Copies of this chain bind each other. A is one copy, B any other.
């Protein structure tokens, strides 16, 4: 599969303005003060969303694409001038502005944990600060969607899942990324045709209730659809009465058989999925249609899929939409982008419940003899933790990517590998055990040095 081309969320020349005003006012002040030192910023999640024991890194490649493309076009400069906030020499500086720094990142699809940097950006302070908004914007929601989707994949225990979320995501950009991140997380298909084209994901779809109501009788709709799509057909049963529709399905499937075709499946989109799937399965089996598969969609998430699967409902495939496409039980998380060093000086923040770890860092992952993940250590980038694998890779240098973006296939494999190597207690869908993450000796020493220095400065 080819690499995805960089589908930027905005025209490259507008990416510079997709930032909070304070990034630009701070930049103006740094510029005026001659502050051009090198800074490192760390992107991490402070705390898990409810019931999450792991997170799936997603959107990191988009964030890096944005860094590489970052620019201010003429309209952007004109607009900034019109605000009266900025000096002429600063606006000239922005005209040629590019991100010239470096970045270390977790590869797309890597499992990660609270407090671990998923991305570290190093560069002149103006540039490294300016990208905060777009980096956080791209990584937060995609990570939430990838994580929610991975939980659905776990719950489905091997049954295929399709993304049906396009109509309920927060915008078209979110719909495309929902399709991509859910496929990375292990879904099998998407209903979103543009996403299918862009990312090479199998497209899938059946029929809507409106299709059924367009015909005088439901069975006429079923016949018309199967006439057109024959073996690909999946009939929607709940427009009027599901059990009645199952009996009509039997008639149509037998007509198809007499023409040498086989109906693929039926879809339930409302009601009690457990009871209805059993009734429909019985009707189909009694008619010798054991090959017809049952798809369920409508209001599903990992909790409901788990309930249906563990309860033994004869559902062969799930379509998920709204609740997963907005990560309904956790539509945001405490992701932050914090300066951790400036010049040759590591920095940190002490505000109540908002502490950050100082210095450019690396995440070191330990595996046990069976190859299962056993513990992570957050250390300094320059440290070495014997027996552990570093997780962040150098992704960008001098403003250019030095490793290509992950293919969607590679990212998908990474999630599958991660989930298979994460011990079950940390994968539980409810009240997971906290995965052990500690800080290295080097990081602890640095932290207490800075704490001492700052306390002295504040009390002097």
Q: Is the CB of B26 within 8 A of A207?
A: yes
- Chain B positions within 8 Å of A79 at CB level: 193, 196-197
CA distance A100 to B445 in the complex (A): 69
Beyond A39-B214, A137-B168, A197-B17, whether A85 also contacts B28 by CB under 8 A is: no
- Whether a CB of chain B sits under 8 angstroms from the CB of A403 is no
* Size of A's binding interface in residues, CB under 8 A: 106
Q: Is the CB of A193 within 8 A of B229?
A: no
Q: Is the CB of A332 within 8 A of B322?
A: yes
Question: In the complex this chain forms, how many copies of it are found?
Answer: 2
Q: How far is the CB of A319 from chain B (nearest CB, A)?
A: 10
- Chain B positions within 8 Å of A228 at CB level: 25, 28-29, 32-33
| The residue from B22, B209, B349 contacting A191, defined by CB atoms under 8 A apart | B22
| The residue from B177, B191, B347 contacting A171, defined by CB atoms under 8 A apart | B177
**Which residue numbers of A lie inside 8 Å of B, CB to CB?**
9-10, 14, 17-26, 28-30, 32-33, 35, 37, 39, 41, 75-76, 79-80, 83, 85, 125, 129, 132-134, 136-138, 140-141, 164, 166-175, 177, 191-194, 196-197, 203-211, 213-214, 217, 224-225, 227-229, 232, 238-241, 244, 269-271, 322-323, 325-328, 331-332, 335, 337-339, 342, 347-354, 454, 457-458
User: Can you list the 4 inter-chain pairs with the closest CB atoms, starting with the nearest?
Assistant: A21-B205, A22-B205, A170-B170, A210-B339
List 14 A-B residue pairs with CB atoms under 8 Å apart, sorted by A's residue number.
A17-B194, A17-B197, A18-B175, A19-B192, A20-B205, A21-B205, A22-B207, A29-B207, A29-B225, A37-B214, A76-B197, A140-B167, A169-B170, A174-B174
